[in-house]
Chains A and B, each alone.
Chain A
């Protein structure tokens, strides 16, 4: 019960973040693929830097343990990502931003989004045993992290990621690594 309330509250703040970042707009999502608006990338990379710094620090202090790390199986992660990007460029949302956009009262998020995800979920669930075991068996490294897999110092890895993100933000915002929208 407690965990249900926590999930609800976390979701509310997640939804606020999505709304305020502008990710509940078709144009923000598709324009990252046109390199005319890099908001999505800045938003995601910032979230990653903050959360990975916090989590690795807390774990280093012995205050938390990590939950089940999402599994790495190179072909499935990649193929899934490619198809996901295709769907994202078509609809202009992903499951999370569609839920937030639906809450804003956008019917093109609420109705085709909800029924589309449900339909996709049914198709996936019914074809799971023909697809997933095969694709996830290829190049499967299990529930691993980069520091564990490659024997890196976790804190240096986080620091490196943070510095690379800052460099990317600099290049996008100050060095013009963003295309201009055509008039």
Chain B
């Protein structure tokens, strides 16, 4: 028992242990609510909600009316849960960053490569996030909604997507890191 509690308090688990937990969550999603995990769709729901409130005419299209209807969906609740899960996970290991210094540019390796300026980290992360969400739309899901959820059902789409992630990610890292790759 003590061993388990101590393990839970660790900052990082073995990826195999954490992977088992995620696998069980994937099974539970189908078992308990006949649904799949997925994070990118939630942002479409919220974007539609904001868009319909601000510029109803612009957002009156097929996508925001039928494909991804706006609103607080199950997917949004899942992402809210992920947010609090991250919080709980960090709290158990005493690594919560709320109110601490250095949270605006949180990674040492990043700072070594790009420097300590916050605007640079935020600018690149912002552009990256736009690209991620758009790409998830084209592919039919993100890491959770397609790679994990599709993969666990043995959908070919998931493995094509994962291969694509490496085809896109490796040259990008190579370009950024250069000699430091």
Q: Chain A interface (Cβ within 8 Å of chain B)? A: 2-22, 24-27, 30-34, 39-40, 42-52, 54-56, 58, 63-74, 76-109, 111-113, 115-126, 128-129, 131-132, 135-136, 141, 143-147, 149, 154, 157-158, 161, 169, 182
- Whether the pair B144, A108 counts as a contact (CB closer than 8 A) is no
Q: How far is the CA of A158 from the CA of B16 in the complex (A)?
A: 18
Chain B contact residues, majority secondary structure: helix
- Whether the pair A120, B132 counts as a contact (CB closer than 8 A) is yes
- Whether the pair A95, B85 counts as a contact (CB closer than 8 A) is no
Q: Can you offer 10 A-B residue contacts whose CB atoms are under 8 A? A: A11-B84, A19-B90, A44-B148, A55-B27, A84-B161, A85-B172, A87-B128, A87-B130, A125-B61, A126-B58
- Whether the pair A149, B144 counts as a contact (CB closer than 8 A) is no
- Whether the pair A51, B86 counts as a contact (CB closer than 8 A) is no
Given contacts A125-B47, A128-B67, contact A64 B89 (CB under 8 A): no
Q: Which residues of B contact A108 (CB under 8 A)?
A: 103-106, 118, 121-122, 125
Q: Chain B interface (Cβ within 8 Å of chain A)? A: 10, 12-13, 15-37, 39-40, 42-44, 46-48, 50-51, 58-59, 61-64, 67-68, 74-75, 77-90, 95-100, 103-110, 118, 121-158, 160-170, 172-173, 176-177, 180-181
Interchain pairs with CB closer than 8 A, number: 528
Given contacts A47-B23, A129-B62, A141-B156, contact A100 B163 (CB under 8 A): no
Q: Which residues of A contact B87 (CB under 8 A)?
A: 15, 103-105
Which residue in B86, B107, B133 is a CB contact (below 8 Å) of A104?
B86
Q: Which residues of B contact A118 (CB under 8 A)?
A: 43, 46-47, 50, 133
- Whether the pair B82, A99 counts as a contact (CB closer than 8 A) is yes
Which residue of B has the minimal Cβ distance to A3?
A: B33
Q: How far is the CA of A60 from the CA of B124 in the complex (A)?
A: 46
Q: How far is the CA of A77 from the CA of B162 in the complex (A)?
A: 9
Q: How far is the CA of A87 from the CA of B36 in the complex (A)?
A: 23
Closest 4 CB pairs of A and B: A15-B85, A11-B81, A81-B164, A116-B129
Q: Which residues of A contact B15 (CB under 8 A)?
A: 21-22, 39-40, 42-43, 46
Q: Which residues of A contact B16 (CB under 8 A)?
A: 42-43, 46, 169
Q: Which residues of B contact A104 (CB under 8 A)?
A: 86-87, 89-90, 95-98
Which residue in A14, A63, A157 is a CB contact (below 8 Å) of B78?
A14
- Whether the pair B152, A99 counts as a contact (CB closer than 8 A) is no
Q: How far is the CA of A32 from the CA of B170 in the complex (A)?
A: 9
Q: Which residues of B contact A112 (CB under 8 A)?
A: 121-123, 125-126, 129
Q: Which residues of B contact A99 (CB under 8 A)?
A: 39, 79, 82-83, 86
In addition to A16-B89, A91-B124, A146-B156, 14 A-B residue pairs with Cβ atoms within 8 Å of each other are A20-B18, A26-B109, A30-B109, A31-B109, A46-B19, A80-B138, A84-B136, A84-B168, A87-B127, A88-B169, A96-B143, A113-B125, A120-B137, A121-B44
